[in-house]
Each structure stands twice: as structure tokens, then as C-alpha cells.
Structure 1
Amino acid sequence: MEIAENAALVVVDVQKGFEEEEHWGPRNNPAADDNIAALIDAWQGTGRPVVFVRHDSPKPDSPLRVGYGGNEFKEYVEQRRGKGDGAELLVTKSVNSAFYGAPDLDAWLKGVGARQIAVAGIQTNMCAETTARMGGNLGYEVFFALDATYTFDGVGPWGWTLGAEELARATAVTLHGGGFARVVRTEELVRAAGAVAA
């Protein structure tokens, strides 16, 4: 795996509102936050660009609504913002894809010359997956750090339900098998990012 010196890390919706289990239900992957932090550290430590994405929900009862504490980034993310030597961007959005936020993520990535993106964050099968899919459609080489994401149990049509881990595996199969992204582990990305920068 080769990670370019200007590959961008896109950190999707790592917000306090996702800690409200009574709203979201059970989650998977308790190691996700540590892995997200490790990726931010690796990117900032090698001077690569980092994009922090925040979901500003227009729904009045959402834990991610503007003006509510849950809209804020989790503490470990907030503490890392502005710490790297590389370019940094804050994108706000109200839909699933970070490419439909403000400012324009695609234009910014092109401006810093990035053709690779690594995606991490919350939720695996929602905003992280949608951002990765769009990135692939736009021609970026996308790395999806599956173990640096998490999601929650889901309910679909006809009473169908899937557990969080099943949904995460479905995302991995769809992204990887469909050619949208290369699904990888945090350790692989951190190692590759360090090797290129050394």
C-alpha cells in the first residue's frame, strides 16, 4: 500500500451526540475511537492534510442538531484540531456525503493536489460509506479504515433487522467488492503513512 504525501484523511462526524446510546441503540467496534485518534496522529505527524467533517442535523430531535452539545466533536478530536503541519479543513453538512457539505470538499482536495483519501468516522454504513462511495465515483483512490468506524443496530423494511457488526461487514463487502474503496485496517494505513514520510 502506498500513501501519497498529500493523501487526505477525512474524519467523518466524530461527534458527542453519537454517545447517546438511548437514541442510537447498541454500537459495534469499541476500539474505533482509539483507531480514529491514531489515524489523525499519523496524518498530522507526517504533515498530511486532514478534513474534519461535522454533521449539522436540521432535525429538531437529533443528538447532532446545531446548538446542542451533541453537535460538538468528541473531545479527542477537538483536542487534535489545528495541531498538524499539513493543510486542514472543516466541512459542515446536513446530508450523508461530506462531498455535499460546505466548503466544497472536492474543490479543496483538488486544490491541495490530493488524489487519495482515507475515510474514518461515524457511522460505518451511513455517512462514512456514502462519503467513500462518492469519493470513488469522483475518481479518488479511497482507503476505508473499517476498524476506525462504528455503527449501530439497524431496522429496515418488513421488520428486517441487522446488528451493527453485520451492517459494518455489509459496508466492507459493498465498498471493497464494488470497487468504491479499498477496505483496510488502521494499522496498515498508519504503517504505510509512516513508511512514505520516512
Structure 2
Amino acid sequence: MNKGVRIVKKACLLIIDVQKGFDDSDFWGERNNPDAEDNMLVLLDAFRKARLPVFHVQHQSENEMSPLHPTKLGYQLKTGFEPKENEPLFIKSVNSAFIGTDLKEELEKQEIAQIIIVGLTTNHCVSTTARMAANYGFGVSFIHDATAAFTTVSYDGRKFTAQEVHESALSHLHNEFAEILSTGDVLAKWVTTSQYMQ
């Protein structure tokens, strides 16, 4: 074994719901972190080059009015996020990527211990999946600059900006369900060399 080579066998990248329908601002409202997809692509490229596992999740809404309904163009994954042949794609219809899919079984089959989670949106499907992953006993890294949120109106009529929603979701996950990292943190911690042992 070469010195300085980090052996990473049990970490994966989980990309959640990066679909064209989230570009519909008339439906979703204002969004924060416009660089989220660029950071996701940086991580996707790095994980692929390092030959680390990549898993994809796609939301199939049951609401015919949703841009994520399978009859709509918005259901499609955004350009650049199409799975490669050896990268599993899990189709879900609820917030958690674990419900109605065999994601947990596939993670266990590949002996994944740490899940690096990115995608859309911070406070909904990404957060819910992170919480369940932690409850199942997986280590979770939640990448704050590779996720994004939309404006939200509270039960009492108060409007929260997309950034406020994003930060609140991160705060609730921090030290309880996940470690909160940046894209740079992930590259330094998990992808430090192009040489890996599988």
C-alpha cells in the first residue's frame, strides 16, 4: 500500500431529487444557494473519479399539479445528474428516500457506513432522509452548500426567506442527526487522493 493513500470503502454520495421541476419559481417561490448544483456536480465528479459509490434519488410526485409529477418535464433529472450504469436510482413518492425503496438494503449490501447527502430541498426530502439515515445507524454528512431551500409561509402567516429556512433546517440537524460540512470539507475529508482501494 502506498503511504498517504486514504482507504475509503464505506462512504457514499447520495444525491436527492435534483430535478428540472425545481426550476419552476412560480410553483416553489424564491430559492437560496444558486451554486448548490455546481457544488453537487463537483462532488459527483470527485466521487466518480475516486471510484466511490454514488446513489441517486428521484421524486415521483402523486400530485398532478406538481412539476415533479411523472407526466411533467420537470420530473426529469437535471442535466449532468443522470446516473451511470453502476449507480443505483431509487424512485420515491414521499419525503424519505428510505420509504418504498430498497435504499437501506443496498447501503447495507455495499457495507456503507457514512452517507454524504446533497440535493433538494434542504428542509424536506434531504432533511427527512438524513434523519432516517441517522436513526438507522448510518453516519451522515449533510453538505450545506450543496443543498437549497425555498421561501416558506408558516402556520401563522409569517414568511421565512429561503436562507432562513435553509439555516433553520441545518441547525436542527447539526449534532443531532448529521455533521454539517461544506463541499470543500468533503473533498478534504473523503476525497484526498485519486488512488483508492475498493
TM-score (norm 2): 0.91
* Residue matched to 2:91: 92
1:157 is matched by which residue type in structure 2?
Y
Structure 2's unaligned 5+ residue stretches are 1-5
> Contact (CA 8 Å) 1:7, 1:117: kept in 2 or not?
yes
Matched residue SS, 1:82: coil
* Residue matched to 1:188: 185
Aligned partner of 1:154 among 140, 152, 155: 152
Alpha-carbon separation, structure 2, partners of 1:63 and 1:181: 29
1:40-119 correspondence runs (5 A)? 40-78=44-82, 81-82=83-84, 87-102=86-101, 104-119=102-117
Matched residue SS, 2:81: helix
Matched residue SS, 2:112: coil
Structure (1/2) with the larger helix percentage: 1
1:96 is matched by which residue type in structure 2?
N
Alpha-carbon separation, structure 2, partners of 1:118 and 1:20: 26
Query: Between Structure 1 and Structure 2, whose CA radius of gyration is higher?
Result: 2
* Residue matched to 2:120: 122
Q: Percent identity?
A: 38
* Residue matched to 1:142: 140
2:172 is matched by which residue type in structure 1?
T
2:188 is matched by which residue type in structure 1?
R
Alpha-carbon separation, structure 1, partners of 2:185 and 2:103: 25
> Contact (CA 8 Å) 2:32, 2:150: kept in 1 or not?
yes
- Structure 1 position 6 matched with structure 2 position 4: no
TM-score (norm 1): 0.91
> Contact (CA 8 Å) 1:9, 1:117: kept in 2 or not?
yes
Matched residue SS, 1:195: coil
Aligned residues: 190
The Cα offsets for residues 121-180 of structure 1, whole Å up to 9 and x where unpaired, read as 000110001111111111000000010001100012011221110111111111114x20
The structural deviation recorded for 1:88 is 1.7
The structural deviation recorded for 1:196 is 6.0
Structure 1's unaligned 5+ residue stretches are none
> Contact (CA 8 Å) 2:49, 2:194: kept in 1 or not?
no
RMSD, matched Cα? 1.5
